[in-house]
Chain A
Amino acid sequence: MSVVATDAAEVERPPALPRGWPRHRILGYALVCLWGAFLAGIVAYLVLAWNGELFAKYAPSYMTGLGVTLLLVSISIVLGAILSVPIAYARMSKNRVLSGLAYAYVYFFRGTPLLAQTFLVYYGVGSFRPQLQAVALYLPVVSNWLAVPLGDYLPQLDIPLGITIARLTLWDFFREAFNCAIFAFSLNTAAYQAEILRGAIQSVPRGQWEGAASLGLHKLQTLWKIVLPQALIVALRPYGNEIILMIKGSAIVAIITVYDLMGITRLTYSRTFDFQSYLWAAIIYLVIVETLRHGIEWIERRITIHLHR
């Protein structure tokens, strides 16, 4: 440390910033003003174009669309996270076949557009209907409930009486556009999340593994108690980015008739021809992304408390 300190005294200072108004500074201010004017223009447009009737008519469907977007993204992200663990494991495996398969999976889902994947799942799977109907799952389903009244102030008690076996086929799952969307989105985000997880785990120095081994810790214990807590700090930002990308990426889902925020926006626009509809959608997306960003920053501040001095 002391060596560094003596060097620092001799280091030349960077040249002082030029004073006055050089050309690039004027340009910078001009650009900022331009952006400011652009923003002010949008705000002014929104204020001037405010149409209460339109808002009252379409605001509820925007909320429904927002709900669909959030539900779709949250389910896909969680399923993708679960799926990404074995993929990341396979990717790091020493078994050539296993790592090759995982690599191919990631290669395919990162290398093709989400739009194409969604379209393939929805319309492609749809053309294999007879085969899908052949694959059946038999589940017991309560077919008859006995309602027992428990008095005026208690909820009634429902006792299952009849149980029948329901035949559920794969087609029953893939028939629904929403399920197809969840399926495609989960597979897609699993590929990205697996890479995030793998990168984060491999970013933890080997010495940590070796140190834990020398203390006699089991591999799983090492992973769970030593490596993962360090890896997840590294992975947090990429995870946040992945969620944000997913939210924006989900806007394509209207092509398979799932009407999310963007789909509702397009329907609204095609009925009103009012540009406001897109602006409102942009604002809602912006609010979601900003909220997420701040949430992730908050988590990061919390989990890196021990690193701050």
Chain B
Amino acid sequence: MRIALRIALAASAALLTLGVAQAQEKTLRIGTEGAYPPFNNLTADGQLVGFDIDIAKALCDEMKVKCTFVAQDWDGIIPALQAGKFDAIVASMSITPERAEKVDFTHKYYNTPPAIVAPKDSDIKGVSKEDLAGKTIGVQGSTTHFNYSTATYTDSTIKPYPTAQEYQLDLANGRLDAANDDIVVLQQWLDSPDGACCKLIGTIKPDEKIHGPGAGIAVRKGETDLVNQFNAAIDAIRANGKYKEINDKYFKFDVYGGES
């Protein structure tokens, strides 16, 4: 008993000092999905790469904090933030009123329109409700695109998938007539060999009520300091050209969208 007690005491003392050491260094843990190229993606050897990751790294440099990244399933990403698994979500998360009830958002750090893709031999002419009536549309579940699809394409069958990769597979397989997602994600896929099956039908005019003002960084409710730091850092990298550098690394156009 005595020995066990001593070991326990020693261990907790060691943990305490470790905790203090960590607090002094100040690391920020960033949660992201890792299945949404080109924004965030896991490479074959398990490294997180993408626009979101580079932006997050630039913001951390600007804020002079050390950042570590955590890959987390999209469905559980907000609960994981709330449970303290990480401190901020940089995962192309659209700022919506539904989510803003649970987390606090920074300003947007990019805003790109959604779009519709379909197989090359498809007879779909446009992106309106009538154009897609009777069709089966694939979309990633728990996203603004899913909410938009279920609200808009009421005459179509909406199939929610766990990640973007699965609806892409099913689109190539021919189980789906169309898919709805962010234009950048879809375009990247269409340009890859896997997306050879399909073509872009057109972009959708974003619905402010559903899509929100763009993608922002989410932090736990009430952490206003962190939000302010992130906002200042976003403005700083926009001003000093770091944002443009990252933007140009991934895209041929400006993904920030208009000033809002």
Residues of A within 8 A of B (CB): 123, 126-127, 129, 171, 175, 177, 254-255, 257, 259, 266-267, 269-271, 273
Within 8 Å by CB of A175, from B142, B162, B174, lies B174
Q: Which residues of B, 120-159, contact A by the 8 Å Cβ criterion?
A: 141-142, 159
Q: Give min CB distance, A65 to chain B, whole Å.
A: 13
Q: A126-B175, A129-B174 are in contact. Are A267 and B159 (CB under 8 A)?
A: no
Chain A residues, Cβ within 8 Å of B159: 177, 257
Closest to A127 in B: B173
Chain A residues, Cβ within 8 Å of B169: 123, 126
Chain B residues, Cβ within 8 Å of A257: 159-161, 166, 170
- Contact, CB under 8 Å: B173 / A270: no
Residues of B within 8 A of A (CB): 75, 78-79, 82, 98, 102, 141-142, 159-162, 166, 169-170, 173-175
Which of B75, B98, B141 has the largest number of chain A CB atoms within 10 A?
Answer: B141
Assembly CA distance A267 to B170 (angstroms): 20
Closest to B82 in A: A273
- Contact, CB under 8 Å: B75 / A175: no
Known: A126-B170, A270-B141. 19 other contacts (CB 8 A): A123-B169, A126-B174, A129-B173, A175-B175, A177-B159, A255-B162, A257-B160, A257-B161, A257-B166, A257-B170, A266-B142, A267-B141, A267-B142, A267-B160, A270-B75, A271-B98, A273-B78, A273-B79, A273-B102
Closest to A273 in B: B102
Closest to B158 in A: A257
Chain A residues, Cβ within 8 Å of B161: 257
Within 8 Å by CB of A270, from B142, B170, B174, B175, lies B142
Chain B residues, Cβ within 8 Å of A177: 159, 175
Chain B residues, Cβ within 8 Å of A269: 75, 79
11 contacts between A and B (CB under 8 A): A123-B166, A123-B169, A126-B173, A129-B173, A175-B175, A177-B175, A255-B162, A257-B160, A266-B142, A267-B142, A273-B78
Q: Give min CB distance, A43 to chain B, whole Å.
A: 22
Closest to A175 in B: B175
Q: Give min CB distance, A112 to chain B, whole Å.
A: 20
Chain A residues, Cβ within 8 Å of B170: 123, 126, 257
Q: Give min CB distance, A100 to chain B, whole Å.
A: 34
- Contact, CB under 8 Å: A266 / B75: yes
Chain A residues, Cβ within 8 Å of B166: 123, 255, 257
